[in-house]
Amino acid sequence: MSAGLPRQHTTSSVGRPPVSSVHVSDTDVLPGSTFHSTTVSYTTRTGSCADNRQPQILPFQGLSGVDNLLGPSPGMSSSTAGHALPPDQFKPSRYSSPSLALQQQNSYQPPKVSVPGNSNAPIYSVQNGPRLTSQFPQTSQMMSRTGQYPVGRMPGPYQLQSMQGVFPRESLPQQGSYPHYLGQNASVPLPGIPSSSSGPLLPAPFPVQSWVQSSSPGVTPGPSEPTSARSSQNTSPIPMQRIDYMEGQFPSSRPSPVTSATNLQALSHGSGEPRFNGPPIAQGSCPPPPPSAQSATPFISTTSSVISQQTQVQNVGFGPPLNGVRPAHVRPRYPQQSGSSQTSKLTSQPIRQSSPFFNTTSSTQQHFSLKHPEGPVGGIAGGYDPQLHAQMTGMSIHGGFSKMWESENVNLLQDKNILPSVPLEPPKILTPHERPACNRDIFRCTLRKIPETHSLLQKSRLPLGILIHPFRDLNHLPVIQCGCIVRCRSCRTYINPYISFVDQRRWKCNLCFRVNDLPEEFLYDPVSGSYGDPSKRPEIRNATVEFIAPSEYMLRPPQPAVYLYVLDVSHSALQTGYLTVFCKIMLQELDNFPGDSRTQIGFITFDGSVHFYNLNESLNQPSMLVMSDIDDVFLPLPEGLLVNLHENRALIQDLLKDLPNRFAENDDTNSALGAALQAAYKLMAPTGGRITVMQTRLPNLGPGALKSREDPNQRAAKDVTNLGPATDFYKQLALDCSTQQIAVDLFLLSSQYSDLATLACMSKFSAGSVNYYPSFHATMNKLVTEKYQKDLRRYLTRKIGFEAVMRIRCARGLSLHTFHGNFFVRSTDLLCLPNVNPDAGYGMQVAIEESLTDYKNVCFQAAVLYTSTKGERRIRVHTLSLPVVAVVTEVLGSADQESIICLLAKMAVDKSITSLRDARDAMINACCDLISTYHNTIAAGQTAGALMVPCCAQLLPLFVLGLLKSVAFRVGISTKLDERVFAMEQMKSMPLSYLMTYIYPRMYPVHALDDNKSLQIDEGKTVPQPPILQLTFEKIDPTGAYLLDTVVLMYLYLGRGISDHFCSTVLGISTFRAIPEGMTELPELDTPESLRLRNFISWLLSQRPFHTPLLILREDSKEKYRFLQHMVDDRSESAFSYYEFLQHLKQQVSK
């Protein structure tokens, strides 16, 4: 192709009036120019800006993270949007440096023509490929004229809905009826598209041929589509149209974009040839892509999308970063079960990655082999418990292969040692045509196969629901920036791996089955640079993708990160000493707050009155304003209370250093939390953001004052009352906050009753998080303080998404009916999440409303639209596909016991608000239902005197017992109301993987850790993998040491007869007798035993985002009960042992 070919003539002339555009040849584009102009179309050689010529931007963008590379910083964009204004009109007040800097760039911009907003001029930004450019130039100018971010009040969640796509795009107002944030996709992240741009960022683990097979009916490689003609006609593979214009844009006579032999091959497979089993896409074997793709560095200039493997905080998983590989979920397993050594598996991984074609299949095979442990069904595989091992030998033959067949059943009464010694592997889902499955930690359904009718579900008596952890920290996440996000036109589903291609230009939605057109740019594969095969797109290859959203997805400019801290400084708060800890950690983490240059911060403190802090940069030191009229709160200053973190850093640091001393002598014991929250709401309402509340006592003054409702004598009562809120003040406040995109996170550090049931409402309905640190004291209670410190550190620095909404779309015939978690339900499938954090999980119950008989698979799609802290609008999309079955045994055989337990727990929390006893009964009934239903499906002879359950649900009764004995649902044991409420809150909002450990803690024998089954992690650490023991005292040897991990706390329990060798090599103490009470740390000894244990504990901690402190308990300790209360299988004064529980179930079933 020739470089300066005026491209838009070829593309824009169809169906639309000519553009009043100025053509700028490539040479006119000065090095510094970014793709500012959205209203301009200028010609240039595609790919002319492929090299990173961005001198002006580089210093300001910071280039600190991938985020920067993927999208412009908002400041940048806003200035570009405001190009029509003279620089002096441009108020940089909130934009800070980038915008100022970028103003200069206006001079470099190519000539542009402002087109009125509703002009039908095609708008291209050629260098950027066919990204969807904004059609709202007017609004953008309006936005920059105001010069400030909070242009207007944030539209309520009602309007937000349209951003998630209920509005058809076409119906969006063309003029500035609301502030549109233009710049987001107006400029392209050129700087530092790293070296990765030259190679494939995403591997191709996806067998293309299966795709085409699935979509074969419509695929005819007919002669009407001369497949090679295109490159000669259109010089670039990149279409430059908006999706809306696509129809009619390319008449059928137009050559099809299919160019590569791969596609031809694929097509021929589609028409019935035998399936091609080799690697479907070999880059080397690909015929050359169209010339334009070769002529430039492929990445930006020719692609329509910028894709990158975003490396995120690695909090989960352990493996080495699998560069360029679809985030294969590697879950550590107990090595013995996997058949081969874990070490070899890990080292072999990179080899697999290098040939991406095998990735899918090999990983599934790996999965498969791992899933079916060769050990006994319920056995302990390690050599730790010879007694048990002997017990298990009878079972072991039966164990191995039987689990392959889901129809296998287990008699619960036969063996009570049922817990596998390895962490439970999430059950595999059969996806059609080996398409990629969604990460099982992100998206799970209680049934792996969906019953086809409501009556079938009723028959199986299992709860149907989905559990989702949408914002989980992922090691690798494909991030896609493209002009148009391909969605179904009727149901607005995002394109996903489970759709089918009718032919090369059309796809069939898997939720509503509408046939949609495929925009031309979707045929381009940005990874390999090849063209013509839509199945290579990352959207099709990954069940989890993230899009950088264009301006259609914004109703206002993306908000800056705004953090407000509301701190309790009453006398009792200062007594606990939390303020010192808090300020210290804030000072340390001030640099690590997620956010860009616009980040704002503010502080409010309160006791009997509310104190504001003016941090305006004109001041020498922060000034405090005290408001004692707490019944009618107002903001004492129009500005200065929320300030830019970077510009006013010195003052903020001064304040944080000064705060603990300032209130050291405070003897006001009152707490006017309600007033402080109202003030915080008023302060935050224009922008939205996050309010963090530190509270240490029951609020007793002003609005929202509460009274103690707990009767200490009733702590062990059979039925617990006051689990619901006492007043709706906090709920109303949360709803108001939610409307203004504010989330409230509560940290309750209280030793006395503080009515968490009421206070938690402020977080529950504003999508915040609740943290509770009972009997916190900075010096007296080291354990809780340690947890608070670590949790706070994580909390302050973790990823956060602002002004988010989550929509869950279900296949036709399914609907969501009850939601669990912290959010406000905006409409039947839309959750309003003012903030979304990576540690929150959600659950939804699903109802089958229509028969699914016609479908083979049903899909769920969850899309989270949020504003990143860098000011980008992003959409994270997860899709889950499940097969539909018609037989009740298959439904029962597809139960996912962990998900069922988590959903049951959530449902039980709802129920216990009215009656805890009902909730407990409901859980027991769930077990009975399962057993009796299963008994009906198998031969009567088998059920006599037995409790048969399907193999995949064999742990259900055990886990239900764990739930019945958990802090949330136990009766008969003295439990503080706040602790119970907090446990319930955890059940509602904790993601599945942690919640399971919370419900049924994990116990490991650690007195004989050895290396031979250990796990190698990348830093050369060896992590031993002891087996998991069932929680019964039978398993505890008086000469052993056991680690009990309850998520809240880890106990290292030392038996009386522990060897002196262990004491000295691990604890650094000569004998058992010398071990002090309340030891909370393992000394760093240089012995292999110590190293192994410490590696193991730190590895456990690295698997979770929050901290779990360690407590060392001697067998004769006073605190021993804390350990014993977790022995779920054993009998306690008020509750069944596991065996008794089974007997009870049997009685219930036989009734």
Q: How far is the CB of 692 from other proteins (least distance, A)?
A: 22
Minimal distance in Å, beta carbon 977 to other proteins? 16
User: Of 866, 826, 844, which is closest to residue 166 (Cα–Cα)?
Assistant: 826
Nearest to 561 by CA among 743, 311, 732, 767: 743
DSSP states of 935-1002 as a string?
HHHS-HHHHTT--EEEGGGTTHHHHHHHHHTSTTT--SS---HHHHHHHHHHHHHS-HHHHHHHHS-E
Bridge partners of residue 836, in order along the sequence: 801
- Look at residues 298, 274, 290, 282 and name the one whose alpha carbon lies nearest to residue 51: 298
Q: Which residue has the tokens 């640099």?
A: 591
> Is the CB of 302 or the CB of 722 nearer to other proteins?
722
Determine the length of the chain.
1151
Residue type at 295 in one-letter notation? S
Residues 6+ apart with CB under 8 A from 107: none
**What's the min distance (Å) between Cβ of 847 and other proteins?**
7
* Smaller CB separation from other proteins, 101 or 677: 677
Nearer to other proteins, 217 or 724 (CB): 724
Q: In terms of CB distance, is 528 or 739 closer to other proteins?
A: 739
**Least CB distance from residue 735 to other proteins, whole Å?**
6
Nearer to other proteins, 311 or 732 (CB): 732
Taking Cα atoms as reference points, which of 746, 788, 791, 751 lies closest to residue 764? 746
For residue 1130, the 8-state DSSP code is S
Q: Of 392 and 677, which CB lies nearer to other proteins in the complex structure?
A: 677
Distance CA 156, CA 158 (A): 5
**Amino acid letter for position 704:** G
Q: Which is nearer to other proteins, 635 or 913 (CB)?
A: 913
Amino acid of residue 28:
D
Min dist. Cβ of residue 1119 to other proteins (A): 38
* Minimum distance, C-beta of residue 341 to other proteins, in the bound complex (Å): 50
Whole-angstrom Cα distance, residue 841 to residue 866?
16
Reading the block at residue 571, the tokens are 């006398």
Q: What is the DSSP letter of 15?
A: S
CA distance linking residue 600 with residue 443, whole number of Å: 34
Q: How far is CA 543 from CA 436, 443, 863, in A?
A: 6, 10, 11
Q: Which is nearer to other proteins, 166 or 587 (CB)?
A: 166
3-state secondary structure of 139: helix
SS3 63: coil
- Residue ranges in contact with other proteins by CB under 8 A: 156-158, 161, 166, 724-729, 731-732, 735, 739, 765, 815-819, 824-828, 830, 847
Give the position of tokens 């148009």: 484
Query: Minimal distance in Å, beta carbon 827 to other proteins?
Result: 4
Report d(CA 1087, CA 673) in Å as an integer.
Answer: 51
Q: CB-wise, 429 or 760, nearer to other proteins?
A: 760
The span from the CA of 232 to the CA of 247, in Å, is: 22
Q: Is the dihedral angle over the CA atoms 981, 982, 986, 988 positive or is it negative?
A: positive
Give whichever of 727 and 1039 is closer to other proteins, judged by the CB atom: 727
Name the minimum Å distance from CB 762 to other proteins. Answer: 12
At its nearest, how many Å lie between other proteins and the CB of residue 710?
A: 17
Local structure of 443: helix, strand or coil: strand
Closest to 265 (Cα-Cα) out of 278, 254, 252: 278
Q: Tell me the closest approach of the beta carbon of residue 830 to other proteins, in angstroms.
A: 8
Work out how close the CB of 828 gets to other proteins at its nearest, in angstroms, rounded to a whole number. Answer: 6
Q: Which is nearer to other proteins, 523 or 840 (CB)?
A: 840
Query: Residue 587 CA to chain centroid, in angstroms?
Result: 28
CB of 575 to other proteins, least distance (A): 32
User: Distance of CA 135 to CAs 38, 129, 659, 838, 1042, Å?
Assistant: 8, 16, 49, 34, 64
Q: Which is nearer to other proteins, 323 or 828 (CB)?
A: 828
3-state SS of 577-596 is CHHHHHHHHHHHHHHHCCCC
Buried residues in 79-118 as b, exposed as e (16+ CB within 10 A) = bbbbbbbeeeebebebbbbbbebbbebbeebbebbebebe
- Closest approach, Cβ 158 to other proteins, in A, equals 4
Q: In whole angstroms, how close is the CB of 968 to other proteins at the nearest point? A: 20
Q: Give the burial string for 217-243 (b: 16+ CB within 10 Å, else e).
A: eebebeeebebeebbeebbbbbbbbbb
> What single-letter amino acid sits at 248?
G
Nearer to other proteins by Cβ, of 378 and 725: the residue is: 725
Q: For residue 231, what are its two tokens?
A: 């490159």
Using the minimum distance from each CB to other proteins, give the nearer residue, 716 or 847.
Answer: 847
Q: Is the Cβ of residue 101 or residue 757 nearer to other proteins in the bound state?
A: 757
- Looking at beta carbons only, is 157 or 239 nearer to other proteins? 157
**Minimum distance from CB of 929 to other proteins (Å)?**
19
State the minimum distance, in angstroms, from the CB of residue 842 to other proteins. 14
Name every residue whose Cβ is closer than 8 Å to that of residue 60 and which is 6 or more positions away in sequence: 73, 75, 76, 97, 98, 101, 102
Q: Which is nearer to other proteins, 516 or 758 (CB)?
A: 758
Closest approach of Cβ 927 to other proteins, in Å?
Answer: 23
Q: How far is the CB of 170 from other proteins (least distance, A)?
A: 18
By beta-carbon proximity to other proteins, the closer residue of 818 and 1064 is 818
SS3 865: strand
Residue type, 579: L
